[in-house]
Amino acid sequence: MATKTNEVDQSASINTIESKKIKKVLKDPLTTEPISEEGENPGSNSDKGFEGFGFSDKLLDTLSKKGYKEPTPIQKAAIPELMLGRDLLGQAQTGTGKTAAFALPILERIKTKQGPPEVLVLTPTRELAMQVADSFRAYAEGNPEINILALYGGSDFRTQINALRRGVQIVVGTPGRVMDHMRQGTFIKNKLDCLVLDEADEMLRMGFIDDIEWILDQLPNERQMVFFSATMPSEIRHLSKRYLRNQAEITIKAKKKEAQLIKQKYIVIQNSYKLEALRRVLETSSGEGVIIFARTKAITLRLAESLEALQHNVAVLNGDVPQNLRERTVERLRQGGVDILVATDVAARGLDVDRIGLVINYDMPFDSEAYVHRIGRTGRAGRNGEAILFVSPRERSFLNNLERTVGQTIEKIEIPRNETINQHRIDKIKERIYEASSMKRDTKEEIELLEKLVDEITNDLKISPKEIALGALNLALGKSPLLMQDDEAWLNQQFNTRQSHDRRTDRNRSRRRNNFDSSSPEKDKARYRLEVGYRDRVKPGNIVGAIANETGLQGNNIGRIQIFDSYSLVDLPKGMPTNIFKNLKKVKIMNKELNINLCN
């Protein structure tokens, strides 16, 4: 059956659906917020917000309480199709609000009767499974009869079995653990009527494609399938053709200009020194409001206590904070009653406060979408913003992926030293004195009284105006020292350790570049060069999968594979047909064309 697709540009209406094949194409910023540009007409119901989708009052009330006002472009495009029960293939960059795009229509259409699972959402990592499950729970607050369960490895199997037996409507899980339950018979699959494959290209990159196909083959014939992917490799396209039926197809084109308002930086720091580094970064921050993102609830509480001890005005936002207190905290942050908010990812979803000038990623986010969501809390309303990421030496390999996601370089900076902090303190005092000197009192009588007070102090105490100014400064500073004179030995150790690590990494790369198997390929094979390598995060399984899908070769017919920094070598059967060779040139791995060529 031919695929029915819809085409919409930003200047056209989503509801323009013709009988011919058309493809939906929208533009979206790298934030979870909707675009509101002059001339945009994303759909006939766009002016109604979420009410235009036909959601129940319970769901609309929950969205309103959580600060969701307008749907993002992918939500505008996907929700109407999913409400109709259609299969969907969606391509959207991280941070576009796609979790809500599939979660909201699922919650609206689900039955509340206890029993076997009705919905299965597959994610590539346990962290993402937990995050998506938490999002479902947040959206389902108004309907406590809906039960959501996260299934992933590393968690007690027996506890998961008991939860499945009690009855859950929605399961969010990783492929391996879902397969374990299906094989054990503890996951009853005959009632499943919807499957969502989230981060499909990441599943492919991690080598889960066979597991995914096995799970898809277990599903009932009558079911809805939804695939979301940031990129569209040929393998995912083949998978959609095999399993999706008459699907809607949506592509969201990301606009980078909003992200470019945010100066993105990172600091390499050992975990044991992170709190001290945070203290120093906050000392030099010029941002009016700051959000610090931490990975767990426990870390948010520990950070808040430490920052309060340093006289910072801090509040906490995590999953344990009740909704009414959450709303009051956000309002205090908006009005200036709180300057620093320490939060987890899920708790800060939908947070919209213009005065946030700095976002600090105290912990590395679970994935690229979480990073985009975090940094999108600053640079609001066309303002400039700053985002700083704390990276441990072991986490540096994740930076390339984040840079590809946001489409710009994340700048490396050093931890502020005493000299920098002291200069910042002095500059801040000057600024405050200038502002205070320019400030006008409410009445003429108060101005005259202050002037008289200065004269009396000068005459009665016999001190000069300079001494009065010094006294006022001492009064403002209190007992806190003006200059920081902390020991910086740990900073020097950090710097030396990092330099040693960089030199060692360079040596290993050089050794790897020169340490390849120069032996000739087997008699029936020829050696080919592929323009993808370690820098592209390519693994042998990616190469085997891409070649096998395009040529039909079995894995055992693909010979030796050698991967280097910027390219790879692979031995393939001699006499490859010209048409297959041409097609292989255009095949993409990790969103980069193989550009295959025969080695001399």
pLDDT tens track for 86-120 = 999 998 866 677 888 999 999 998 876 778 999 99
**Strands ordered across the beta sheet of 411-412:** 314-317, 340-343, 289-293, 356-361, 385-391, 262-268, 411-412
DSSP code string of 363-385? S--SSHHHHHHHHTTSSGGG--E
| Lowest mean per-residue pLDDT among 119-128, 323-332, 546-555 | 546-555
Strands 525-530, 597-598: parallel, antiparallel or unpaired by DSSP? Answer: antiparallel
Q: Specify the residue for token string 């607050």.
A: 141
- How far is it, in rounded angstroms, from Cα 45 to Cα 450? 60
What pLDDT shows up at residue 292? Answer: 96
Percentage of the chain beyond pLDDT 90 is 29
Statement: residue 40 has pLDDT above 70: no
CA 573 → CA 310, 350, 525, distances in Å? Answer: 67, 53, 4
**Cα(378)–Cα(278) distance, integer angstroms:** 18
DSSP at 169: S
Other CB atoms within a 10 A radius of the CB of residue 431 amount to: 11
Say how far apart CA 144 and CA 131 lie, in whole Å.
19
What is the structure's pLDDT at 489? 76
Positive or negative, the CA dihedral 402, 329, 135, 322 is: positive
Q: Select the more confidently predicted residue: 339 or 257.
A: 339
Domains located in the chain, CATH noted: 24-255 (3.40.50.300), 259-417 (3.40.50.300), 420-477 (no CATH), 525-598 (3.30.70.330)
Closest CA relative to residue 568, chosen from 581, 559, 578? 559
Over the chain, what is the mean pLDDT? 80
Q: 84: how many CB neighbours lie within 10 A of its CB?
A: 12
The count of C-alpha atoms lying within 13 angstroms of the C-alpha of 272, restricted to the half-sphere facing its C-beta, is 4
The strand pairing partners of 44, in sequence order, are: none
Least confident stretch, 123-127, 192-196, 265-269, 468-472: 123-127
Taking alpha carbons only, the member of 343, 348, 337 closest to residue 303 is 343
The pTM of this model reads 0.49
Mean pLDDT within 186-210: 88
Euclidean distance between the first and the last CA atom of the chain, given in angstroms as a whole number: 45
Distance CA 56, CA 146 (A): 15
Query: Amino acid letter at 351?
Result: L
The Cα–Cα gap between 177 and 582 comes to 39
Secondary structure element (H or E) that encloses residue 324, with its range: helix 323-335
Q: How large is the average pLDDT for residues 170-185?
A: 93
H helix or E strand, kind and range, residue 541 = helix 540-551
Going by pLDDT thresholds of 50, 70 and 90, the confidence category of residue 346 is low
**pLDDT at residue 514 in the model:** 44
C-alpha–C-alpha distance, residues 333 and 354, integer Å = 10
Q: Which residue has the tokens 């009445």?
A: 443
Chain segment 296-313, per-residue pLDDT in tens: 889 999 999 999 998 899
Q: What is the pLDDT, as a whole number, of residue 506?
A: 45
Per-residue pLDDT at 255 exceeds 70: no
What average pLDDT does range 47-60 have in this prediction? 86
Residues, the chain? 600
Confidence bin at 325 (pLDDT 50/70/90) = confident
Segment 537-551 shows an average pLDDT of: 78
Percent of the chain scored above 70 by pLDDT?
82
Rounded-to-integer distance, Cα 86 and Cα 96, Å: 21
Structure tokens at 569: 């070598």
Q: What does the alpha-carbon distance between residue 131 and residue 417 come to, in Å, rounded to a whole number?
A: 36
Tell me which amino acid residue 478 is: G
Instruction: Convert 492-504 to b/e letters by CB count within 10 Å (16 or more is b).
Output: eebeeebeeeeee
Q: Are 138 and 268 in contact (CB under 8 A)?
A: no
